[in-house]
Structure 1
Amino acid sequence: MRKKLLGISLLIIVFILGLNILGRKLIPQPSTQSIELSNIRIGWQVPWATEGQLTQILKHTEILQKNGLKGEFKGFNSGPPLNEAALAGEVDVIFTADQPAATLLSKNQNWVIIGKLMYNRVSLYVPPKSPMTKVADLKNKTVGMPFGAAAQRIAFKAQIDAGLDPKKDVNNVNLDIYEQSDLVRDVNATKWGNIDALAGFDPTPAIFEEKSLIKTLVVGKVVSVIMMNRDYIKTNPEAPVQFLKAFHATYDYYRNNKKIADDWFTAESKLTITSKSLEIAASLEPNLSVDSTSKIRIDFTDEDYNILQEAADFIYDQSLVKTKVIMRDYINLSYLQNALLQ
């Protein structure tokens, strides 16, 4: 009897092993090649709202991995040190604004713009109780702003559009964006010390606005971009398409999970900022309010091209760079077109 049971048990074991071997042959197994991920070093700016949320999504989800990439994230506090890392070959792709992009290209043409990162705000504003209500009122007034930043460009343009000469009619002075928080504290202020108005970029003015600490005269648009190193593309020819597919999916995640993305951003940036301020900072970016994935857009409009060129012209005219850059010459949307077809 025992021999009979033992024989039956052996037959069952052989049968199960046979099924297992047959199953392995019939069901396709993932190859090492299909799951191998390409490394990509991503340079980003930690305290930059909206860009920060997009980066956090890439860090906390598997969107990159699902598109064949393994991200190594290198965070910086602002555009200039990010550019230094790009020049030193320490990053493969960067998230940056229009002026730093033009600055990088003026120094190293081995970079290419492969898509739009986002639209973000720069603003010109006065104290909440200031008698000034329009830009023309700034004549013979003192305006503080971070020189070399997009805030200076937008402030100068607004002054020119109002019939003012930025060099003669207005006392425009260099003031770091991080110094503004020490000045802007009183909801009843008519002036900030000897400063009549300020210009700055988000999230700083968004925080002020949410607290009713400023009165905004002008809001300008910055076109921020995704740039990739050409040598990296040569070594990893599929990476631009893979990355853009992932980035498109990142916007889809962001629009459907804003609080999660905001919390991730706030935690790493260590900014004291409310969800309302983050909403204000992201107000120019249409991808966050679309009602379907198909409406997410990361290419450029004619207006975008004009803004990008205005940025390049501005830094050249201000003698911030020695070489004038034609931005269209460094934009390649073929990767994006291929990404959208897949």
Structure 2
Amino acid sequence: MKKLLLLLLPFFLLPDCAAAEKIRIGYPSAGSLISGQIGAILERTDILERNGLEGEVTPFLYGPPMQEALLAGHIDVALTSEANFVNLAAKFPCKMIATLGSAGRIAIMVRNDSPIKSVADLRGKTLATVFGTSAHYPAVQWLLKAGLDPAKDVKLLHMAAAEGRAALIKGDIDAITMWDPFVEDFIQKKAARVLQHNPSFWTTTVASEEFLKNKPDTVVNFLLALHEASLFLALNKELANGWLSKTMNVSPAVIDKGSSYNSNYARAKKLKDISIVPGKELLERLKQIANFNLASGLLKEKSPVKEKTDLSFAKAAAKKANEFKSGPATVRIKDK
């Protein structure tokens, strides 16, 4: 039996005669906020069906397998991060078509009992990050800003996220660059403290160019579903955070705090409050990461992020969304 949830949401239903269009979606179920909750909502509710879509929603524990699935043509759309889009755009015919906004903080953290008080104090110390991710670029920028040469003054190590967190707790490394909800998890457990943080790193919604070319109307309907799922999240934080908590192994309260940096999550009350159109800040961040990845040798050629950004679908979806007036609508929650 399916559960029903009465919400103040608009209907985006297509006429009864319209056949549902298929779409395959990947999302991070254990590595990222906002994309994680939205993916779970699409998987566990009938929001896709309400928008005329037959969705195949696949959770991925980590970013690389999801990128590989997009490269292999196993999914059409990936809910991912800013850095992952930069890497994908360098080697695959895809485009960024939307953003779900901020996924929380990126931060350099040290153990609570560490004598290190500032980024400048990392001279001669070991800092772990995940090369090529959204945590890599800001880590290097903070070191440079503190007057440190990342290649000489600090031992910068590549470590998988979970490995790095464990190494910090054991004292095997001096500092780590990580993202929410793990930043907040360490803070609440009093296991580590923040030296420097960026209040926002960005999500990106990336689709294969083949899918965009062959099914443009389906893409717009999918982005309408993202509007609705984003509002569902804003109005049902406890429910959606509880779903994500089971795969991220952190508490719903930690997820809530990390997600609070997202403007849709924090402030949306109506559909018109939702924004998924990428803005200047994200577009500039993508350019910076692309330049950094080329200069650091992570990519052999500069990623064409500008050329592979298409805002037309998100703008079309936003226009349609604003044409609807909110009214009572029943969202069905599927049994899991």
Structure 1 length-normalised TM: 0.83
Q: Is 2:25 aligned against 1:42?
A: yes
SS at match of 1:329: coil
Q: CA deviation at 1:97?
A: 0.9
Cα deviation per residue 1:200-249 (whole Å; 9 max; x = unaligned)?
A: 22332221122111110122232220111221223222012101111011
Aligned equivalent of 1:277: 254
State whether residues 168 and 176 of structure 2, in contact with CA within 8 Å, keep that contact through their aligned partners in structure 1: no
Identity %: 29
Aligned equivalent of 1:215: 193
Q: CA deviation at 1:167?
A: 0.8
Aligned equivalent of 2:323: none
SS at match of 1:289: helix
Give the Cα–Cα distance (whole angstroms) in 2 for the partners of residues 118 and 203 of structure 1.
15
Q: CA deviation at 1:42?
A: 0.3
State whether residues 114 and 240 of structure 1, in contact with CA within 8 Å, keep that contact through their aligned partners in structure 2: no
State whether residues 99 and 315 of structure 1, in contact with CA within 8 Å, keep that contact through their aligned partners in structure 2: no
Of 221, 224, 247 in structure 1, the residue corresponding to residue 203 of structure 2 is: 224
Q: Is 2:154 aligned against 1:170?
A: yes
Could you say what the CA RMSD is over the residues aligned between the two structures, in angstroms?
A: 1.8
Q: How does 1:269-308 map to 2 (within 5 A)?
A: 269=247, 271-293=248-270, 294-308=272-286
Name segments (4+ residues, structure 1) moved above 4 Å.
Answer: none
Give the Cα–Cα distance (whole angstroms) in 1 for the partners of residues 16 and 251 of structure 2.
45
Q: CA deviation at 1:194?
A: 4.2
Of 222, 225, 249 in structure 2, the residue corresponding to residue 246 of structure 1 is: 225
Cα deviation per residue 1:48-67 (whole Å; 9 max; x = unaligned)?
A: 33211111111122211111
Mind listing any 5+ residue stretches in structure 1 that lack a counterpart?
1-29, 186-191
Amino acid at match of 1:168: K
Give the Cα–Cα distance (whole angstroms) in 1 for the partners of residues 184 and 267 of structure 2.
22
Give the Cα–Cα distance (whole angstroms) in 2 for the partners of residues 231 and 291 of structure 1.
33
Q: Is 2:174 aligned against 1:196?
A: yes
Aligned equivalent of 1:72: 56
State whether residues 35 and 203 of structure 2, in contact with CA within 8 Å, keep that contact through their aligned partners in structure 1: no
Aligned equivalent of 2:141: 157
State whether residues 202 and 282 of structure 2, in contact with CA within 8 Å, keep that contact through their aligned partners in structure 1: yes
Aligned equivalent of 1:118: 101
Give the Cα–Cα distance (whole angstroms) in 1 for the partners of residues 122 and 22 of structure 2.
51
State whether residues 133 and 217 of structure 1, in contact with CA within 8 Å, keep that contact through their aligned partners in structure 2: yes
Q: CA deviation at 1:261?
A: 0.4
- 1:54–1:31 Cα change, 3 Å: closer
SS at match of 2:310: coil
Aligned equivalent of 2:312: 334
State whether residues 248 and 296 of structure 1, in contact with CA within 8 Å, keep that contact through their aligned partners in structure 2: yes
From the two aligned structures, give the one with the greater helix fraction: 1
Amino acid at match of 1:306: E
- 1:291–1:149 Cα change, 3 Å: closer
Amino acid at match of 1:322: K
Q: CA deviation at 1:253?
A: 0.6
SS at match of 2:250: coil
SS at match of 2:84: helix
- 1:31–1:49 Cα change, 3 Å: closer
Give the Cα–Cα distance (whole angstroms) in 2 for the partners of residues 71 and 54 of structure 1.
13
Amino acid at match of 1:88: A
State whether residues 241 and 256 of structure 2, in contact with CA within 8 Å, keep that contact through their aligned partners in structure 1: no
- 1:326–1:257 Cα change, 3 Å: same
Give the Cα–Cα distance (whole angstroms) in 1 for the partners of residues 290 and 41 of structure 2.
30
Aligned equivalent of 1:256: 235
Give the Cα–Cα distance (whole angstroms) in 2 for the partners of residues 31 and 337 of structure 1.
23
Give the Cα–Cα distance (whole angstroms) in 1 for the partners of residues 268 and 136 of structure 2.
35
Q: CA deviation at 1:260?
A: 0.6
Give the Cα–Cα distance (whole angstroms) in 1 for the partners of residues 76 and 101 of structure 2.
19
- How many residue pairs end up in the alignment? 303
State whether residues 260 and 266 of structure 2, in contact with CA within 8 Å, keep that contact through their aligned partners in structure 1: no
The structure with the largest alpha-carbon Rg is: 1
Aligned equivalent of 1:19: none
Of 54, 57, 67 in structure 1, the residue corresponding to residue 38 of structure 2 is: 54
RCO greater where, 1 or 2, for CA within 8 Å and sep 6 or more? 2
Aligned equivalent of 1:205: 183
Give the Cα–Cα distance (whole angstroms) in 2 for the partners of residues 291 and 193 of structure 1.
41
Q: CA deviation at 1:101?
A: 0.9
